[in-house]
């Protein structure tokens, strides 16, 4: 790439703003709903990030809708609501949109035949959401393979998923997300669903239908539920290639936080072409900057 092309590229990518008292107030007044990622934004593993409950409470007191949009497929919406409650935050199932739910809804809206079964490389969250949508995750014939985060992945699961996709005519290959890593604990990043998805891609030589962020499939269900224009929403996340890109693809404002995967140096890396509208250390900065 020559200097002219570099200059043109730089001119087309907006420069993100560090969150300040002025633009935080402007952001608050310009949106009706905040969409939050969970891992690295609300919590790390099972530990809340400082200031989260107070920040959410402040936003609710100002009449803002709160929605939690997570790529982690290990839990269903019911299980996530229980986790929030355990951590001392009241969140209803209707406010949670997980990639496990998105996988089930993708099959439902595309009229996946009820007599066909779904093979899952993943955990209880996917199975529960499939069951709620009326699909069976065991047995055969298999018409779809759903791959998500699976802490118990093994060679047999990969082989059976590969067999179904390669040998069953028309078998769908669905990925909940392609996150490379995630926070299973508050101290370390662990391999994410993207590792499982990559293995199946490698063995089948096929690319999946991705239903989690940055795909806007979850946004379609969210819009039906909340009837809020995406231009009046702000997506808050810790990942550029999923959370921020999801918000941009849907036409939302975007706020990147450094409490999870992305660092300021990676945001400012010259090779990075995904730029949020705003960035800050953690979501409780909103509370502090607004003096609420």
Q: Is 9 annotated as a binding residue?
A: no
Are residues 99 and 70 in contact, defined by beta-carbon separation less than 8 angstroms? Answer: yes
Residue 37 marked in a binding site: yes
What residue ranges define each of the domains in the chain, with the CATH number in brackets? 17-71+214-290 (3.40.50.1000), 111-210 (3.40.50.1000)
Give residue-wise pLDDT tens across range 95-143.
999 999 999 999 999 999 988 999 999 999 999 999 999 998 766 689 9
Please check whether residue 119 is in contact with residue 145, taking contact to mean a CB–CB distance below 8 angstroms: yes
Q: Is 39 annotated as a binding residue?
A: yes
Catalytic residues: 37, 39
Write the CB contacts of 234 (distance below 8 Å, at least 6 apart in sequence): 27, 31, 33, 34, 35, 247, 252, 253, 254, 255
Using a cut of 0.85, tell me whether the model's pTM lies above it: yes
**Selection from 162, 197, 159 nearest residue 180 by Cα:** 197
> pLDDT tens-digit profile of 169-202?
999 999 999 999 877 776 778 899 999 999 999 9
């Amino acid at each position: 790439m020559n200097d002219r092309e570099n200059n043109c590229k730089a001119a087309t990518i907006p420069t993100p703003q560090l969150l300040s008292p002025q633009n935080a107030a402007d952001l608050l007044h310009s949106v009706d709903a905040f969409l939050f990622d969970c891992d690295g934004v609300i919590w790390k593993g099972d530990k809340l990030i400082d200031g989260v409950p107070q920040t959410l409470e402040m936003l609710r007191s100002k009449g803002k809708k709160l929605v939690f949009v997570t790529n982690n497929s290990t839990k269903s919406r019911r299980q996530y609501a229980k986790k929030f409650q355990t951590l001392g935050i009241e969140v209803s199932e209707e406010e949670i949109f997980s990639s496990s739910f998105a996988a089930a809804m993708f099959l439902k809206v595309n009229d996946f035949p009820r007599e066909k079964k779904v093979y899952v490389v993943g955990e209880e969250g996917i199975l529960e959401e499939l069951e709620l949508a009326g699909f069976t995750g065991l047995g055969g014939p298999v018409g779809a393979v759903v791959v998500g985060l699976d802490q118990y992945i093994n060679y047999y699961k990969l082989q059976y998923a590969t067999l179904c996709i390669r040998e069953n005519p028309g078998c769908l290959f669905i990925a909940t997300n392609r996150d490379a890593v995630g926070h299973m604990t508050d101290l370390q990043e662990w391999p994410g669903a993207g590792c499982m998805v990559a293995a199946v891609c490698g063995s089948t030589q096929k690319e999946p239908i991705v239903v989690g962020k940055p795909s806007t499939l979850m946004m379609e269900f969210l819009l039906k539920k909340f009837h809020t224009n995406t231009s009046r929403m702000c997506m808050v996340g810790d990942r550029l290639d999923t959370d921020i890109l999801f918000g941009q693809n849907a036409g939302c404002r975007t706020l990147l936080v450094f409490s999870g995967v992305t660092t300021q140096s990676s945001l400012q890396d010259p090779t990075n072409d995904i730029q949020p509208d705003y960035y800050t250390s953690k979501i409780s900065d909103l509370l502090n900057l607004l003096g609420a």
